[in-house]
Structure 1
């Protein structure tokens, strides 16, 4: 995830998020709650629903939303979405976002020229009318007392507030001015913008800044941002294959795929998963799988290396006093837990699950409520997604152990890879 947007209401979250989504960013809007996963998200938009809250509560909402993401070694770009007519707790939420993100400079550009909202000489104008003379001044929940943006923000923060007018924006020296302001103590700067071109100039001037900054605006500034600031370069992510079937067909499919694809096979020692050292075994196989996937190689977790493995079933059942059903359940549950642990630590492009017991165990481990079928890879081998699961809408291919020809796994890997091509 490269960017997080903190909005104070739902429609604002959406109208800003769509500016990024239309340029190809995977943009998820969440309703005042942490999502289960952000593995595939380019832009996360969090609605704090804090516009009409008391000031202290609004600040707490912003801090709570940002805290999990701004403590990373590579924190995302933070965009504080505000109302373009400055209703709500604008100053308080900017201050909270600066503190949570460690920003030295908050850059405020709330203009939406296409909607008739511009910033001129530090004033907010709506279709040429000063903000205080519009209907927004008498908003029933969050009335406006001034057209002067610096005054409105200053009502709720003690940070110094600077202003940069159109002359500076269009002078070619905007980046230099922003860099200068960012070198001092934490502060806020209000930037004029009368046209979409002015916002584009600002967006370009921000890129060279060497200190951490906070973007503050509405849909206009979001639309002006270059895609590179929030859209990661697309990579073909590896597939995690969980092969719990002992069928000869599955074993041959793995061997065939390994000859033609960048594929690593990790053999799971079933007996160790049943022994008192099962936790150590689980951690080891998880660590190995994560390492493979981080190297962008497809990874196969295999429980049946050769025909001899089938002969171990009765031995294990007798040794651990288990029926065949009980043994199968324990193996499936262990593989489900391993799959969840791997997914939580590595990015994957999809799942390939072979063996009915394994598929359902993984689905349950990921919290899935169902399986939504979207297509067919080869006859009787569907591709779909787990509904409301930890992996959101990542492709999941399921296959009965004995189904498919020699090339089925290879074809499935190609199928998922092609889903990402051109993105």
Structure 2
């Protein structure tokens, strides 16, 4: 293994696994720290649910993943975080990055969540989503990690005892050597600007020999070239069996995708309501049986407007609602697969994590790209194929595209 990745959620793990695969590395995604030998790979991606868990748990699990990756021979560790830098004032990005840096003996940590293909760019240490600052992008309404500050220095500084600085675009545009020369001597986390793919390639070259990087999947774009690895074409075949779409994301992008799919789903849609979920009104097996009986791939969703979400959180409690929905989506996915379903499309990082854990997935191989940052995945040792989508990713017709690719079409349908 050349590169080891610790991802703080499941969609982020598949996102960076696709990036590494697309740029020349054989990559496999693992669910939690593996206990079984899955063979040699160039890049191993360990997916955790450490974005919103207690800090001590996030640090402990991340260190365990790091130790396992080092045992497999990993020469460089990447802490994969969301391209919108989702976190709370206390963490978990800063505490985990600091703990990993100290474990690895890395005195300077490059940090860059930029992903231009999905509209994420960093300029003067400020994170933009498209043409809007992070705090004006809709992320300020995230139900678990509302992002109200676009200056990543101000986001990260309360989370770590290390100094936080910035390598501005005026340096980045001069190339890898200039980036390397700008690195401080010790104990700093350095936000590196990037507004285009070439910037990420230069950051990757500048990171050669670094033991730890922190960022979105874009930070991995230039890393495989440092190791000289190449992979052959993908032999993805897909599955033609029954499909189910599950959406627990409340992002603007996903809500638009849900609405567009509703219009063409021939009534095969079911919206889950918070009050009924808390009351235990939904039966996973009953809904799974309904799903496999549909001619059109059905969609079960809880992607409500932020105002509705806030009212429900105020009434029932944020953690209680999140836990209830995650547990149900997990049960529903298992019931659907048990009923003969083969294709699952999941929107939302927390929802994806719950589904993957519920299915007891140990490892997944990376297939073709469905959308930037979203690959098709095949569950090792089963007939199940998955698409795990971060809430903000994908074109308006993402669900239709995902159904096609999981069904065996190697190119994204337009």
TM-score, with length taken from structure 2: 0.51
Partner of 2:67: 67
Q: Is the 8 A contact 1:42 1:230 kept in 2?
A: no
Partner of 2:194: 193
Superposed CA deviations along residues 237-295 of structure 1, whole A, max 9, x for unmatched, are: xxxxxxxxxxxxxxxxxxxxxxxxxxxxxxxxxxxxxxxxxxxxxxxxxxxxxxxxxxx
**SS in structure 2 of the partner of residue 199 of structure 1:** helix
Partner of 1:178: 180
Partner of 1:296: none
Q: Which has the larger radius of gyration?
A: 1
Q: Which runs of 5+ in 1 are unaligned?
A: 235-386, 389-423
Find the aligned partners of 1:11 and 1:134 in 2 and give their Cα distance. Answer: 20
Displacement of 1:49: 0.8
2:145 matched to 1:142? yes
2:54 matched to 1:54? yes
Closer/same/farther in 2, CA of residues 115 and 5 from structure 1, 3 Å limit: same
2:172 matched to 1:169? yes
Q: Is the 8 A contact 2:25 2:224 kept in 1?
A: no
Partner of 1:31: 31
2:80 matched to 1:77? no
Aligned length: 230
Displacement of 1:35: 4.2
TM-score, with length taken from structure 1: 0.50
Closer/same/farther in 2, CA of residues 27 and 204 from structure 1, 3 Å limit: same
Closer/same/farther in 2, CA of residues 31 and 20 from structure 1, 3 Å limit: same
2:130 matched to 1:127? yes
Closer/same/farther in 2, CA of residues 180 and 199 from structure 1, 3 Å limit: closer
Displacement of 1:109: 1.3
Superposed CA deviations along residues 66-114 of structure 1, whole A, max 9, x for unmatched, are: 1234378x64211111101111322122112212222222111111111
Find the aligned partners of 2:80 and 2:21 in 1 and give their Cα distance. Answer: 15
Partner of 2:337: none
Q: Is the 8 A contact 1:84 1:218 kept in 2?
A: yes
Compare relative contact order (CA 8 Å, sep 6+) and give the higher one, 1 or 2: 2
Find the aligned partners of 1:69 and 1:157 in 2 and give their Cα distance. Answer: 24
Find the aligned partners of 1:103 and 1:232 in 2 and give their Cα distance. Answer: 28
Q: Which runs of 5+ in 2 are unaligned?
A: 233-379, 382-414
**SS in structure 2 of the partner of residue 224 of structure 1:** coil
Closer/same/farther in 2, CA of residues 20 and 116 from structure 1, 3 Å limit: same
Find the aligned partners of 2:228 and 2:58 in 1 and give their Cα distance. Answer: 26
Q: Is the 8 A contact 1:117 1:127 kept in 2?
A: yes
Displacement of 1:215: 1.5
Q: Is the 8 A contact 1:43 1:230 kept in 2?
A: no
2:18 matched to 1:18? yes
Partner of 2:219: 221
